Amino acid sequence: MGIIEKLRLDGKKTFVTGGARGIGYNIAIALAEAGADVAIVDVDEAVAKTSAEEIAKATGKKTLALKADVTKKAEVDGMIDAVLKAFGRIDVAFANAGICKNIPAEEMTLEDWNQVININLTGVFLTAQAAGKVMIRQGGGSIINTASMSAHIVNVPQPQCSYNASKAAVIQLTKSLAVEWALKNVRVNSISPGYIGTDLTLNSPALKPLIEKWNAMAPLRRLGKPEELQAIAVYLAGDSSAFTTGSDFVIDGAFTCI
């Protein structure tokens, strides 16, 4: 089998949390374009349905829209059951759901802190745990977690200690699961995007004023594009990355190099 064939995902069954828009949507459509069936999981069921329909129409692959709050184990387990019912197995799980709150540390409430940690870290654990159990029974699979360059640096000028801490923890969780499940043929890796020009970032009143400052600090002097994360996701999902586990891939235009 040649390298191009190994990069194909034909026959693989996948899901993406936070897949209705932004980075998650772009990952989902890349998986489908590479040949996989994809379930779009999101708290916004209406947008998830629209996104799933768009991907199915564009790629001809089977898609599914599911509503789930990744901080609630019962909903995560229900989502896994729904994917299994529709697809029969789970080959790739992409834990992408996350939020960020820009609040000075001295002003952050415990509620704010817990919300970020629960979605960004506990949600990733619950998703990986549920998918991992299925993959262990199947004899293998690939789990991909969305971390962030914020796990490696402290972003400025925005105050986001809870986000940075949660994403650093995601990388260590990824490494821990990779070691625990290595001999069970379940690979676990993470992707750490830099500043990405999603619709949310580009149109957010709070973030738009910061883009010029970020670009001034960036070696490439621009934001990344969501589609520039697609190739690494397809690689990690496919058979060509069989020896790749426990790794974090920083896709940030060299931002963390400075």
Q: Which two tokens stand for residue 119?
A: 């979605």
Active site residue 163: yes
Residue closest to 160 by CA, chosen among 152, 169, 150 = 150
- The secondary structure element, H or E, covering residue 178 is helix 161-180
User: Which of 25, 167, 192, 241 is labelled catalytic?
Assistant: 167
Q: Which two tokens stand for residue 43?
A: 């708290």
Q: Which two tokens stand for residue 10?
A: 């034909």
Rounded Cα–Cα distance for residues 7 and 234 (Å): 7
Active site residue 240: no
Rounded Cα–Cα distance for residues 31 and 254 (Å): 25
CB 124 within 8 A of CB 145: yes
CB 245 within 8 A of CB 187: yes
CB 194 within 8 A of CB 145: no
Rounded Cα–Cα distance for residues 68 and 44 (Å): 9
Residue closest to 235 by CA, chosen among 94, 138, 98, 121 = 94
User: Which of 25, 49, 67, 148 is labelled catalytic?
Assistant: 148
Q: Which two tokens stand for residue 31?
A: 């998986």
- The secondary structure element, H or E, covering residue 103 is none
Active site residue 175: no
Q: Which residue has the tokens 């199915």?
A: 56
User: Which of 163, 190, 195, 241 is labelled catalytic?
Assistant: 163
- By annotation, the residues acting in catalysis are 148, 163, 167
